[in-house]
Structure formats: structure tokens, C-alpha cells
Amino acid sequence: MKPNNLESLWMPFTPNKTFKKDPRIIVGAKDMHFISDDGRNILDATAGLWCVNAGHGRKKIQDAVYNQIGELDYSPPFQFGHPKQFELANRLVEMFPEGMNHVFFSNSGSEAVDSALKIALAYQRARGKASKTRLIGRERGYHGVGFGGISVGGMVKNRMYFGSMLSGVDHLRHTHNPELNAFSKGLPEYGAELANDLERLVQLHDASTIAAVIVEPIAGSTGVLPPPKGYLKKLRELCTKHDILLIFDEVISAFGRMGTPTAAEFFDVTPDIICCAKALTNATIPMGATVVQDHIYQSMMEHADAPIELFHGYTYSGHPVACAAALASLDIYKEDGLFERAVDSAKHMQEVAHSLKGTKNVIDIRNMGLIAAVEIEARDGAIGARGFEVMKKAWDLGVMIRANGDTIAFSPPLIVENNQIEEMFDVTKKAIGSIN
């Protein structure tokens, strides 16, 4: 049943006037499908928003949340602790790269990023490098919607309305080069040298002023941009050379999306800090985490100038219900072998996604791990219009896809079956073919 009045709600990242004339209302979800208010099963080709990696309606998570609310619904995170936040932190450091043994909890990817940026600045001060205050992001990067995240982010519409943002921020050039890398299967061949753009910024600002570089190992919200071969390793080398922290924003890529616990493991590149969220709790309860290398934590502990080593935190940091949901989610990922399953599914999705080459208006197809994108040519004077129309048509045909401008993104739950992958792209092809 549709709500009688849709006007009270101001919807995020949504054309409100357009939506409320033709709403897409979801009333339920199970496994690979959403249920619309008109009773249709809608195949979830996006894991919600890159986040429901174990599929919808998992009873193990439901039970964990229910039991936790009955046992301990809330515990203040400042000056007090509860068992599950320590248990979850221990579980995470077992999964993450060697040396990354300390976890700071928050409530979202945006907060995990802002926490990482503040930790980076505090660390540099604590170790006597207080001049290192500059933060380096990347063009076309997405790091959430906090002022820190949009400052280091590089998506124009997310930045242009909000003033000068943080000072002392600069950006690497992005790596997208369709002239050389169009229709790449997996990592693009060309562009590793773009990591050297950090040398340009070092020459401009001097390394003594730069605290950290933050990138997504694979950029998602900007339209799925896998890194060129060797790019991340080169960036790691340059950060080490210039004594600059490297932060990976893995809000999208962590917890099996690449077939591994983290993209850091997939690319065999260990950053100093990893930000994660989304699939940490299978999106059941909001939660984020910032995981740091030992040298960062130890320096903060040893050189703090007050009993409180980091003046930062949130009312809901390490919330007991979120921790319970996360622990149950990690159990499911392990017990069901979902990371390993994603490796096989990714191979099939690559094959099926690239079968759309030659479809009307398709100008590029990109994929990496269990992520893919089909980019369609923008309509003259109406960037994003075709992508939006394809998304709406696919909904009508029974599949939820995500339109990032004129790029259609796919990131299904890790439980996806091969026939469902085929359905996702068959419907998308029909949707693309149906618009002008």
C-alpha cells in the first residue's frame, strides 16, 4: 500500500519531484529479491547500495539483533565497554592485512572516512610531524558526504553546493581513460603511471606538509573505475617514499566484493588505514569501521599529550546491536563460503556483462570482482537522462539496477546465481534498447 502523502520526506540523492510523481516503493525483501508495493519480486542487482552482500532476510542476523536488544540494547562507548565490540574488533583484525590490528568503530562509511582523516592528522601531530596537515584525494573519488569526505572526494555535484570545504586539500588526477581502456575485462592495461601524479603534488606542496592520500581501490559511485595494472602498488611505493599515509576507502570493496576480505588483499597492497562499512553488518544495522596499522595506534598511545589519546568518537560507536549484526554477518560469510563463491560468480558476470558490447548506445563495459558497469552514451544536453530512464525501465521489467549518471552499475549480493546474473543483463539490454 502506497503512503497517502509522500511530501513530508526529503529523500537523499533523489530527484524528489520526479520520484513522487512515479514512486518505486519497496515493502519487503528476501534473498536475492526486493518486493514492491504492487507485489512484484524485483531482482536485486545492486545488493541494495553495494551493501547486502549475504542477501536479504538472513535469519541468523535477525536472531542476533533480537537477542542483543533483549540482553543489552545500548552501552555508552565513552569510558565504558561491552564484550561484543571487543569480540568484533578481534574478528576484523584476523581478516584484515597483517599489521592492521586496531579498529575504531563508527556508524557509516562517511564517518569511517572522516575518522580516518582525523586519525591521520592526529597521528602526524603525535609523532612530531605537525606540519603534515594536507590531505590528498583523487578526482572522481567518492568518500561519503561528511565535510571531510566531500573535501577529499572528487565528484563535482557532491562538492559544488557546499562552499570552500576543508582547506589544505588537493587531488590526484583520476585514472579513467576510455580511449585506451574501453571494454577492459578486469584491470585496465594502461594508466599505472598516473600514480606518479603524487610526485607532482609533492613538488607543489612538499612532502613535509602532506599527511595522507585517500583513494578507493576500485572507484564505485563515480561509475565503476578499476585501477590500472600496477597503479595501487606504485601509489603505495610513493607514499612510503615520502612518509605519507595511504588510506584505502573500502566501504564498497570490503567483505567479499572482490572475492577476498579486502581489496587490499586482492591487489596485494597494504595501506596504512582501511575504511569499511556497508557489508560489515550486511546493511542490517548502520555501522562503519576504521582499521589502522600498528604503528599508527602505538604512536598515538605512546605520544598522547592527555589521558584521552584521540578526542573523537560517536554516541553509537561500537553499538551493541550493530556489533551483534556484524558478528552474525561475518559468520555467514565464512560458513557459506561467500567470498570464494564470489570469485566464480565474478568470472561469469564478466562474460555476461561484456556480451552487451555492440548494444545500441553502449560505449564502454568495465568489471572487477563482483562489480560491473555498462556505460551508455549521454544524450546531447542531458547527461544522465538515458541512465535514469534505463534504471526506471529495468524496475518496470523486474530488476533493480543503479544509474550513476549514464553508467549502469551492478554489484549483486554474493549469493547470486548464474541464471540471475544473466537475467540482470538481459533485462538491462532490453531497457537500453527501449529508450531513444
- How far apart CA 106 and CA 196 sit, in angstroms, is 33
Q: Which domains does the chain have, with CATH numbers?
A: 16-54+337-433 (3.90.1150.10), 63-335 (3.40.640.10)
- Rounded alpha-carbon distances, angstroms, from residue 429 to 221, 225, 356, 405, 406: 21, 21, 7, 17, 14
Least Cα distance to 428 among 315, 343, 330, 349 occurs for 349
Is the model's pLDDT at 241 over the cut of 60? yes
pLDDT at 190: 98
Query: Terminus-to-terminus CA distance in the chain, angstroms?
Result: 33
pLDDT at 68: 98
Is the model's pLDDT at 181 over the cut of 60? yes
User: What is the average pLDDT value for the chain, to the nearest integer?
Assistant: 97
φ/ψ bin of 206: left (φ > 0), alpha (ψ from -120 to 50), beta (otherwise): left
Split at pLDDT 50, 70, 90, the class of 2 is: low
Structure confidence by residue, pLDDT tens digits, 371-422: 999 999 999 999 999 999 999 999 999 999 999 999 999 999 999 999 999 9
Structure confidence by residue, pLDDT tens digits, 299-348: 999 998 889 999 999 999 999 999 999 999 999 999 999 999 999 999 99
Structure confidence by residue, pLDDT tens digits, 194-228: 999 999 999 999 999 999 999 999 999 999 999 99
Q: What is the DSSP letter of 38?
A: T
Structure confidence by residue, pLDDT tens digits, 150-179: 999 999 999 999 999 999 999 999 999 999
Query: Which secondary structure element, helix H or strand E, spans residue 198, and what is its range?
Result: helix 197-205
247 strand-pairing partners: 214, 273
> What pTM value is reported for the model?
0.97
pLDDT at 4: 63
